[in-house]
Amino acid sequence: MKFSLDAGYGWLASLQQERLFHLDPLAPDAASCSFPVVLRISGALDAAALETALAAVVAKHEALRTTMAFDGDELLCSTRHAWPGPLLQPTRLEPASGDGAGLAAAVREVIDRPFDLATGPLFRFALFQPADDEASLVMVFHQAVFDAWSAGILATDLDTAYAAALNGGDVELAPNALDYADFAHWQREPWRAGAPRPSRLGADGPLPATISTDGAQWALKLPSEQEQQLRRLQRETGDALLVVFSSLLGLFLGAESGRDEILIDASVPGRRHAEANDIIGLFETPLPLRLRLDAKPTLREMLDQVRTQAAQGAENRSMAFDPSAALEPPGFQVAARVRKRPLWRLAGLRLTEQAAHAGRAKRDLSFVLDERDDGLWLTLEYADALFEASAAQRLLNGLVRFAAQCLADPARRPDAVPAADLQTRSRRGQERDTGALAALARPQADARLGQLSSNQQSLYFFEKLAPDRALYNVPLHLEMRGQLDPARLEAALEQLLKRHEALRARFVETPAGLRQDIGAPPSRVLETADLSQLPPDRRDAGFASLERDVSSTPFDLAAGRLFRFCLARRDRDHWVLLMVFHHMAFDGHSAQIWLRDLRTLLRGGALPAVGPAMTVREAAAEERAWQRSRDYQKALSRWLDRLAGTAAPLNLRPDRPRPLRRDYAGAFLECALPQALLGEHIQRAAQLGASPFMAVAALLAAYLSARGNQADVCLGFPHGGRGDGAIEDTIGNFVNLLAMPVRIETADTPRNIIEKVRQTAQASYAGYRVPFSSLVDRLGLERVPGQHPVFQAVVTVDQDFDGWTQDGLTVALLPGSNPIAKFDLAFGFNLARSCVRIEYATDMFDPASIEAMGAELSALLSQCVRGFDAPLRQAAGATAAGEVPRAAPKLLRKPKPAGAGNAGVAADVT
């Protein structure tokens, strides 16, 4: 939700901004807070177009238009709509000053100039042109509004805006869904909900008034052999590059200093919500690492330490940090950073990023691993009051040599290196106040983080009602033809399980209630079955039996391992990867994430270094907090008002009465719909502002109204439940069921019905966060055995999985065994193939009746298109059964008996 800015009062700075000023022992407007970017431009640059492009970037990102001021002990921000005056003033260098020294001096002056937080702007652009086809663009930002990730956003937006300016088009960049103020506001929400507010560093005593912060840096390219070894280790362990780099650095610093403990100030991008990935601003979040070296660990053992601490930091990153909780003085301050240099492009020009340094050092030593186009570079920024240039250079070279030794054999204990530069620091360095290196003392909330979401609690309840039926097993099988490396496949599966904690959960009943615990990353997760040794005439039967066992065996929620993988070899180059997940930890969107990442890993690619922005437990904690708010009560009341009077069940005219005790056996068939008519129907709905889903839902509502001869129809449909971008890449079960009540009058036309469905669907979307189980409880509906409350039919729009091909291996989705019908009827419309899949409960319907439904839907679609503004004869009040035209159905897939089902990844119904 957008946070409304009040220009009169401003807004509280983010925690990252607050930390920058309370933990940095400098005045907040000092040049040490600068983030410089220097680009060398070759070619015919259009300076006016460049200025227009820069103005478009500033207009898009409100952080760049921010000013700041302290009000007591609060750092307040406000945002201007625009900045007066030119943003860029090109400077033509005279021949005497156009040499390297003159240009460097001009660039240095721009970088060194301090910012004024209160008046702004917190950015600075300068263009120096020593020749007609050469220029240097200097962009400097205050770190309160810019971080390393922001540079990549800047590169993309600047390229887009410059191209538009050259073409004379609209140079207004598309706005972001959220702004930096929304992020800062979101951070403060826990305090409004009653969480303790972190104290400030100043509470424990002031920092020294003056500290020398002059600094310099050295850089060198990592040898290609070591880069390959590092990347290989990263692929083997599945660790982020920061984890591997910090482990190497910790071992090296321990060997150099002779200390048994090393403290490293690492950091992660901190962009927990997907929307934040496109916002310029300060999101970078500290990740302090306290590494033990007394046991003389190997690199692999050190990786375990760093990985564990990084995971704990990620688990708690939604909590507010306490800057006052400083670690014990480590004797020296070291920072570790991993950055990816952006690709700078401007139309018709060649850009090269130049080395740029603010001439300051925030830490005694900062080691940066840069991912550049030409490989990995190591940069050491050091405080020159503490280290001579030669000592810094020896440290950097020593790190490279030490890393070569460790990477050659990560399981071998590295040889000791002579203690030198780190132990011979000056007395002035020993006296430096190390309290500025703060810890992330985020308050632990185990009770909240161990809770289940409302969706999980509901699933757990129904699972216990039928523990032997495997009602919530989700099959996701892949058929593979070609050359497959099973070991590589298993390594990819293990890496994904390590990345997604939901699949490592177990659910434990305690006196305090049901909670979920997360287990350690598993190993040996892939079972194998070689069916190629069977006689050819027995392979199909053997595979069917294997697939049925894998798909239909219930999971033990208390034991965990909510996944099951089996690689079946059917022939020499014919494989099937049987994958089954429990719905407590997996939904339709999770399947898309899983398949996307599995494809990347099998192709030899690497996943993003930073994992999902939010865990399932963090999401559950946020949901619980929201359910205690007034907004939740308002949303719940709106739902109750909308659903009042809709308790009457649909008259679906089954072949047999609904049994009091359901066996949930199901089958399905697919019926074709006239492609031209379906396209026309969807196009007309679009002209009314209705989505394709609304179009087919209107068709189904009209049909069920006619079939049951009833005016009030209530359909159910699943919503992904991922409106918050923070869980966009999180595997788990976030799907929620929504109700769509529609009243269809006798005189309603297809146009009217689409408009009604559009309005009620939009109202349903707005309340997607209210758990369906809460609605049922509050509606006070009488539970009828075997009957789903509120609605008995659901509608979805399904998508096909396209599969992929790599190195001679073809991968396709294979329908699996899932003989479950949770509803009386489920209608899945596939627009690409112009068909409807009707899943039905076999204890209520016969295949012939389902075939007739497909034909009747097709006939009604024809009538809707041909008489878009004419009343439907099949509306409530007519003799629906006799008036719905019948036609011979065109079956795309024959009915599947109980014991077989659909493995679609999009139709996800709880």
Euclidean distance between CA atoms 634 and 27, whole angstroms: 46
In the predicted model, is pLDDT for residue 879 greater than 60?
no
- The residue among 616, 564, 250 whose CA lies nearest residue 453 is 616
**pLDDT score of 105:** 87
Could you tell me which residues come within 8 angstroms of residue 537 by beta carbon, excluding any fewer than 6 positions away? none
Q: What is the mean pLDDT of the chain?
A: 82
pLDDT interval class at 895 (50, 70, 90): very low
Backbone angles phi, psi at 667, to 5 degrees: -150, 175
Burial class for 511, CB neighbours closer than 10 Å (0-12, 13-18, 19+):
exposed
- What 3-state class would DSSP assign to 16? helix
CB hemisphere CA count around 748 (13 angstroms): 27
The DSSP symbol for 360 reads B
In the predicted model, is pLDDT for residue 163 greater than 90?
yes
**pLDDT score of 31:** 56
Q: Could you report the per-residue pLDDT of 720-764, keeping only the tens digit for each?
A: 888 767 898 999 999 999 999 999 998 999 999 999 999 999 999
Q: What's the average model confidence in pLDDT over 820-847? A: 93
pLDDT interval class at 388 (50, 70, 90): confident
**pLDDT score of 171:** 84
Q: Could you report the per-residue pLDDT of 48-107, keeping only the tens digit for each?
A: 999 999 999 999 999 999 998 876 667 888 888 777 678 887 888 776 554 577 888 889
Higher pLDDT: 197 or 613? It is 613
Q: Could you report the per-residue pLDDT of 323-338, keeping only the tens digit for each?
A: 333 333 334 478 999 9
**pLDDT score of 888:** 37
DSSP string, 761-784: HHHHHHTTTS-HHHHHHHHTPPPP
Share above pLDDT 70 across residues of the chain, in percent, rounded to a whole number: 82
Range from 85-99, 385-399, 682-696 carrying the lowest mean pLDDT: 85-99
Q: Could you report the per-residue pLDDT of 280-329, keeping only the tens digit for each?
A: 999 998 888 999 998 899 999 999 999 988 887 765 544 444 433 333 33
**pLDDT score of 690:** 92
Range from 272-281, 667-676, 860-869 carrying the lowest mean pLDDT: 272-281
Share above pLDDT 90 across residues of the chain, in percent, rounded to a whole number: 48
In the predicted model, is pLDDT for residue 195 greater than 70?
no
Higher pLDDT: 221 or 206? It is 221
Higher pLDDT: 466 or 651? It is 651
Q: Are 273 and 724 in contact (CB under 8 A)?
A: yes
Higher pLDDT: 876 or 835? It is 835
Burial class for 69, CB neighbours closer than 10 Å (0-12, 13-18, 19+):
middle
In the predicted model, is pLDDT for residue 713 greater than 80?
yes
Q: Using a cut of 0.75, tell me whether the model's pTM lies above it.
A: no
Q: Are 472 and 455 in contact (CB under 8 A)?
A: no
